[in-house]
Amino acid sequence: MNCLIVDDNKLARTAMKQLTSHVEHLQVVAECNSAMEAYNILQKEKVDLLLLDIEMPGMSGIELTRNLGRKRPVIIFTTVKKEYAVEAFELNVADYLIKPVNPARFIQAIEKAREILDSNSRELQVADNEFIFIRDNGVLKRIKMDDILFLEAMGDYVKLHTTQKFHAIHTTLKAVEEKLPAARFMRVHRSYIVALDKIEAIEDGTINISGNAIPIADAYRSPLNSRLNLL
């Protein structure tokens, strides 16, 4: 996994490079002191993972992320401040690390990135109302429709959550919605589709599915209520 370290602070770059040196199959292709320098490298080099500081002179890490568009690497934000967490979540980055970065926390973030990258060649095909197939590196893998809990938009990917694990599929939530059987699945938010038969509870505008809290957007409340078998 090729990674690029971007931070205007030399000591922070050194510390991050030290952390990466302890992770097998993680190679630093370059380190940059500005977002603009990183942008130019990304136009020429194959980079799987961006370890990206947020507050930098000129272009910020958040601005760089927005400018990279759909074909961006997997991104892990690194910052000394917690206040950017909400904005980072909205940008669907893989993780958000507070500096100085704890080694165990760093490994956790790398594993998240690795799982996304391992899934980046997957696409979804629906065979019937019983199964879907995910194309994973040229191999079709079957998933039972009954095992699907919900689907979540995540940048250029859709996370398909099942009872066992999640799969990251390189597609859009709209494309997935068009393929899934409408009798069994429903969009409840711009970023979420749920399996109606997996809903355990709804409280304060939030759906609970297997311990996961999923928001309901106002536009979907009435259609959802009409689909539920209310007494």
**Which residue, chain included where needed, has tokens 């917690």?**
82
Phi, psi of 177, deg, nearest 5: -55, -40
At residue 139, the pLDDT reads 62
Alpha-carbon distance of 178 to 27, in angstroms, equals 39
Alpha-carbon distance of 59 to 63, in angstroms, equals 6
At residue 195, the pLDDT reads 95
Q: Residue 110 has which token pair?
A: 């790398």
Question: Whole-model pTM?
Answer: 0.56
Domains, the chain, with CATH or none: 2-118 (3.40.50.2300), 123-227 (2.40.50.1020)
pLDDT in tens, 149-195: 999 998 778 889 998 888 888 888 888 888 888 888 999 999 999 99
Q: Residue 9 has which token pair?
A: 């602070």
Report the C-alpha dihedral over residues 160, 95, 28, 38, rounded to 10 degrees: 100
pLDDT in tens, 91-137: 778 889 999 999 999 999 998 888 777 665 455 555 556 788 776 65
Mean pLDDT, rounded, for 199-203 = 93
Phi, psi of 59, deg, nearest 5: -85, 130
pLDDT in tens, 94-107: 889 999 999 999 99
- Report whether 105 contacts 24 (CB < 8 A): no
